[in-house]
């Protein structure tokens, strides 16, 4: 096929990303309309156009010379609300008007609708699958907005195809989307998952949908037609079984029979749990040559892996796990804890010999010798082959050091180096990892801070300040990223049996009970399975945090000054 030019709205969204990747892989030119910068699409060679459907002046020029427009952008949140009309209807109207004004030579306008534009009439017993001739009875504002947008497309006079996907699944689907919620429900053994719901849903893998959209854009027999893209059916009870095999579930077949006999008395959401209300036939699309490559269970498997990894830190989430400071101390202990249950680990440290020693025990790990105090070294790391070999799904930022003594004991450059390693390098690595994590709907970032984060520490001032910065940064970013699937954890251990004290010039007291790094590593991994942002490890660390909250700040600083003078 000759290369063509596509204009894809919602290019950074779930469906849009996969479509752009497919089109670029086939050698097509792609212009992607996005609301914010999208480096991963730019790396694919997508021509990024920043703008919003509400303001055509920002993107209308990008329609010049376009062969195909694929309109993926939408407010796809299920349920009701005023935002659906503004985005799905008004946005589609503006796009159509812009194409009519400047899209000369357009070969096809493909509109991505939804099975929700059809749904079921109140008295429909759901005895047959939906098809392109089924009457439209959308039950939500989302579905109603898509129905109205379909009408705009058909009345536009443009050469069009309308595609109604069923339940689209893929590893990077939104956390609040249908089957992602169903899988978590099963994994958590929530009450809903204790019933053998017979209701079935048509499920299509996102890459199979991308193939269907490309086909509808180019196939001559797709012009002026509407198609379901349904994939294959999957009963909800089978989804629960795939996610959590062997669970005992109460039968509700009797309720399904009652719902079929008296459909008007059953709310649509309950009808979907009991009957094949959201199954559709895509025979018309298959007649054009489309065939799904993945069955519903196969498509769902990637979602199950993602959601299981979210709840079980011992389960490999895929991608790669990056551990800094991996040549010794807590970093090395985390390698020992995670290497048996992770396929891909990247170990980062400036100590090449130490990394080789750790790698000799865990040969499947890869290493990157990097001085995190060097900005250019950090930049080379995140741009390098090892970092980019696999998507970063976990980052354990352990590398750090301390400086003991009054402020003038060390030069300003030494204090700056401490902040480079302890704070700025971790910030840079996290900032590099977060975009891909948010797109995937999964990620873990662990900042290793310290019990010194809770109050100023005279004679360890820059070290304590750097840990306070990590605590503040981690907690703030955790709040910002809530709901994205990216998990931030700030670990604040007390003293450990590492070379920190010797390197920092801190005295080791004979009566002091320092924690074994392996024990701290275990506590950190266990904390990942619980919904918390900060974990305080050791009784001493908890006590320091409590004193910092109870005492006036000036009193706390004076107290710690005396303690540090005498004991450290």
Query: 465 and 318, same structural domain?
Result: yes
pLDDT band at 431 (very low <50, low <70, confident <90, very high): very high
pLDDT of residue 241: 96
pLDDT of residue 133: 96
Are the C-beta atoms of 528 and 546 separated by less than 8 Å? no
DSSP-assigned letters across all residues of 395-418: EEE-------S-TTTS-HHHHHHH
Q: Which domain holds residue 48?
A: 5-170+202-232+278-307
pLDDT band at 504 (very low <50, low <70, confident <90, very high): very low
Query: 548 and 430, same structural domain?
Result: yes
pLDDT band at 503 (very low <50, low <70, confident <90, very high): low
DSSP 135: P
- Return the structure tokens found at 383: 């741009």
- Within a domain: residue 273? no
Round to the nearest angstrom and report the end-to-end CA distance of the chain: 73
DSSP 89: I
Is a pLDDT exceeding 90 seen at residue 37? Answer: no
Query: 320 and 206, same structural domain?
Result: no
- Return the structure tokens found at 182: 């169903």
Angstrom distance (rounded) from CA 366 to CA 359: 7
Query: 284 and 361, same structural domain?
Result: no
Is a pLDDT exceeding 90 seen at residue 555? Answer: no
Mean pLDDT of the chain: 92
- Within a domain: residue 103? yes
Query: 298 and 377, same structural domain?
Result: no
pLDDT of residue 506: 57
CA dihedral 307→208→49→389, nearest 10 degrees, is: 60
Low-confidence winner among 60-69, 275-284, 474-483, 513-522 (lowest mean pLDDT): 513-522
Q: Give me the CATH number covering residue 365.
A: 3.40.50.720
pLDDT of residue 550: 79
Angstrom distance (rounded) from CA 293 to CA 315: 27
Query: 210 and 344, same structural domain?
Result: no
Is a pLDDT exceeding 60 seen at residue 429? Answer: yes
DSSP strand pairing (392-397 vs 366-369): unpaired
- Within a domain: residue 48? yes
Alpha helices (runs of H) in 2-158, residue ranges in sequence order: 14-25, 39-44, 83-84, 91-102, 141-154
46-65 average pLDDT score: 94
Angstrom distance (rounded) from CA 321 to CA 387: 10
Query: 369 and 287, same structural domain?
Result: no
How many independent structural domains does the chain possess? Answer: 2
pLDDT of residue 508: 59
Give 300-323 pLDDT, tens digit per residue. 999 999 999 999 999 999 999 999
pLDDT of residue 137: 95
pLDDT of residue 507: 58
DSSP 531: S
- Return the structure tokens found at 566: 């005498």
Query: 283 and 319, same structural domain?
Result: no
247-265 average pLDDT score: 94
């Amino acid at each position: 096929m000759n290369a063509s030019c596509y204009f894809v709205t919602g290019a950074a969204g779930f469906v849009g990303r996969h479509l752009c990747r497919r089109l670029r892989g086939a050698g097509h030119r792609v212009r992607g309309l996005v609301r914010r910068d999208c480096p991963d699409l730019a790396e694919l060679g997508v021509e990024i156009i920043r703008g919003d459907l509400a303001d055509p002046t920002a993107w209308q020029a990008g329609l010049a010379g376009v062969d195909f427009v694929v309109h993926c952008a939408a407010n796809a949140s299920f349920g009701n609300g005023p935002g659906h009309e503004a985005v799905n209807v008004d946005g589609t109207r503006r796009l159509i008007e812009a194409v009519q004004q400047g899209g000369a030579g357009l070969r096809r306008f493909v509109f991505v609708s939804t099975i929700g534009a059809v749904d079921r009439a109140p008295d429909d017993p759901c005895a047959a699958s939906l098809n392109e001739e089924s009457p439209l009875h959308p039950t939500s504002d989302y579905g109603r907005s898509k129905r109205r947008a379909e009408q705009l497309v058909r009345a536009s006079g443009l050469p069009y195809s309308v595609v109604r996907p069923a339940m689209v699944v893929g590893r990077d689907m939104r956390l609040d989307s249908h089957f992602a919620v169903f899988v978590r429900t099963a994994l958590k053994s929530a009450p809903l998952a204790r019933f053998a719901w017979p209701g079935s849903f048509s499920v299509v893998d996102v890459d199979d949908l991308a193939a269907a959209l490309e086909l509808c854009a180019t196939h001559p027999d797709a012009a002026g037609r509407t198609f379901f893209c349904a994939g294959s059916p999957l009963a909800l009870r089978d989804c629960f079984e795939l996610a959590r095999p062997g669970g005992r579930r109460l039968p509700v077949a009797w309720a399904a029979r009652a719902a079929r006999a008296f459909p008007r008395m059953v709310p649509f959401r309950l009808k979907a749990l009991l009957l094949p209300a959201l199954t559709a036939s895509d025979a018309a699309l298959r007649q054009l040559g489309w065939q799904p490559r993945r069955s519903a269970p196969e498509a769902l498997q990637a979602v199950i892996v993602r959601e299981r990894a979210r709840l079980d830190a011992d389960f490999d989430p895929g991608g790669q796990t990056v551990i800094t400071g991996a040549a010794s101390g807590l970093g090395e202990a985390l390698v020992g804890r995670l290497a048996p249950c992770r396929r891909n680990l990247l170990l980062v440290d400036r100590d090449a010999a130490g990394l080789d020693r750790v790698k000799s025990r865990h040969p499947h790990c890869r290493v990157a010798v990097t001085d995190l105090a060097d900005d250019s070294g950090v930049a080379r790391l995140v741009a390098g082959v090892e970092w980019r070999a696999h998507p970063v799904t976990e980052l354990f930022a352990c590398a750090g050091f301390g400086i003991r003594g009054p402020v003038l004991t060390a030069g300003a450059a030494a204090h700056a180096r401490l902040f480079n390693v302890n704070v700025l390098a971790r910030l840079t690595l996290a900032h590099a990892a977060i975009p891909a994590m948010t797109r995937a709907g999964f990620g873990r970032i662990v900042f290793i801070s310290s019990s010194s984060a809770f109050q100023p520490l005279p004679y360890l001032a820059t070290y304590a300040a750097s840990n306070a910065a990590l605590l503040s940064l981690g907690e703030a970013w955790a709040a910002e990223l809530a709901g994205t699937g990216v998990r931030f954890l700030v670990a604040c251990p007390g003293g450990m049996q590492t070379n920190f004290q010797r390197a920092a010039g801190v005295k080791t007291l004979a009566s002091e009970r320092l924690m074994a790094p392996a024990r701290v590593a275990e506590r950190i991994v266990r904390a990942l399975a619980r919904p918390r942002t900060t974990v305080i490890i050791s009784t001493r660390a908890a006590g320091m945090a409590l004193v910092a909250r109870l005492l006036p700040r000036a009193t706390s600083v004076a107290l710690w000054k005396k303690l540090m003078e005498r004991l450290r």
